[in-house]
Amino acid sequence: MKPVKLQYWILGWFSMALCCWCISDEFSQGDNQPHTWKKLFLAHHWPVTVCKMSANDCQDPPDYWTIHGLWPDKGEECNRTWHFNVTEIKDLMSDMRHYWPDVLHSSLNRTQFWKHEWDKHGTCATTLQALNSQKKYFGKALELYKHIDLNSCLLKAGIKPSSSYYRMTDIKEALTKFYGVTPKIQCLLPEEGEKAQTIGQIEFCFTKEFQLRNCTTLKGESDPVQHAMKLGTKELSICSDTLPTYYPSEVQDHK
């Protein structure tokens, strides 16, 4: 082959390879796009309300806020091949049982709850180096939970389980004043014959550097409405500022 022809052949081959690489990279970025996230939600749920939502017979639910999950704001089940392995969090087991219990299935294999959270949310969080293993993911959730210390905050503000009603604006004001950010608060709306909403979940938002931030959705961010808890026909939704708010101390109907 003549030198000139060889030069054009090499140039053509290189251009084709570069084009294929660009297309491949574009598809790769497109595939990963659903898994890119900007903030984390640390969700606490109130066990008594969780039991009220379920037809299951909850046995003595904890009387303190427990962890529901640590959720990136985008993506679900990002890596179905990365299976949950409870032995990887054996060093965390004591805290996991206390702070992250399966409220609905306390008598069954409680690891199923943790498996669900890992499969759905943990495999998406691993794009961050600080969360790129099961031990790191669950360990960081426990660390953030202890840092927030929601139970103590509410008690200091005089907000505790009671048969009386609270104003949601008072609860929001107490949390915002204490933490300096606006959390996301969800309630079980009143059923027929009830006059008050029941507080069920409080979520705190963090940046990828694990700094507290407002949970309000900014431009270009997704709002993970799919993270609302639903059990049977009952579902949590953003609390109303106008309805009386019930913070139940035990599972019972409250009219």
The domains of the chain are located at 37-246
pLDDT, residue 227, reads 60
CB atoms within 10 A of CB 150: 20
Q: Is 87 helix (H, G, I), strand (E, B) or coil?
A: helix
pLDDT, residue 154, reads 97
Report the number of secondary-structure helices (H) and strands (E) in the chain.
8, 9
At residue 226, does pLDDT exceed 70? no
The CATH number corresponding to 37-246 among 3.90.730.10, 2.60.40.3080, 3.40.50.920, 3.40.50.1970 equals 3.90.730.10
Encode pLDDT of 72-118 as tens digits. 998 899 999 999 999 999 999 999 999 999 998 765 667 999 999 99
Confidence of residue 1 (pLDDT cuts 50, 70, 90): low
Q: Is 20 helix (H, G, I), strand (E, B) or coil?
A: helix
- In terms of DSSP bridges, do strands 197-206 and 184-188 run parallel, antiparallel, or are they unpaired? antiparallel
Question: What average pLDDT does range 142-152 have in this prediction?
Answer: 98
Find the angle CA(219)-CA(225)-CA(228) to the nearest 5 degrees. 145
Encode pLDDT of 197-223 as tens digits. 999 999 999 999 999 999 986 555 555
Encode pLDDT of 31-51 as tens digits. 345 568 999 999 999 999 999
pLDDT, residue 219, reads 54
Question: Is the CB of residue 208 less than 8 Å from the CB of residue 38?
Answer: yes
Please give the biggest Cα pair distance in the chain.
93
Provide, rounded to the nearest whole percent, the portion of the chain with pLDDT above 90.
66
Q: Catalytic residues, which ones?
A: 68, 117, 121
Provide, rounded to the nearest whole percent, the portion of the chain with pLDDT above 70.
75
Q: How far, in Å, CA of 84 to CA of 150, rounded? A: 28
